[in-house]
Amino acid sequence: MDTGEIIKDLKEKEKTEPIYMTCCDVLRALTILHGSAWQSDLTLTLEEIWGLKNLTLDQTYELRDKLDEAIKLLNERGLILSGKRVRANLSSSKPTEEDFHQIKDFFTLIREFGSDRYVLRYRREIMGYR
């Protein structure tokens, strides 16, 4: 399967299980973050997306619990690359190590999620784009 088919398959399964919803939300967050993100930035963006979706607290916790599994699944399917990298830390004299996630095919990601209603709503309401 090519990248587009894998993403479409995940989108079709999104409403069936929390793991697939989390996978799609990770891809939405990576779309918003231009294809790559540190774990802390990804988590913050996901929480903002889940807020836009008006999910209950229980639903949000369930999706957050599936985050590591979703990232693993996206890596296994060949959609993203994840790994530890060194990141500058302005509150310390030493850099810190953090997970970094990067989409492999940004063009296909934009094609599949660039006009997604939650991505557009995020850009409008959170980022202030018109």
What are the residue ranges of helices labelled H in 2-116?
3-13, 18-32, 39-52, 57-65, 67-76, 106-113
> How far is residue 95's CA from residue 7's CA, in Å, rounded to a whole number?
34
pLDDT, tens digit, for every residue of 111-127?
999 999 999 999 998 88
Domain membership flag for residue 28: yes
> How far is residue 45's CA from residue 27's CA, in Å, rounded to a whole number?
11
Domain membership flag for residue 18: yes
Domain membership flag for residue 34: yes
Residue 130 has pLDDT above 70, yes or no: no
Domain membership flag for residue 130: no
Domain membership flag for residue 14: yes
Mean pLDDT (whole number) for 46-72: 96
How much is the pLDDT for 93? Answer: 85
Domain region containing 19: 3-125
How much is the pLDDT for 88? Answer: 87
pTM for this predicted structure = 0.94
Give the bridge partners for 99, in sequence order: 84
CATH of the domain at 105: 1.10.10
Number of domains in the chain: 1
Domain membership flag for residue 44: yes
Domain membership flag for residue 96: yes
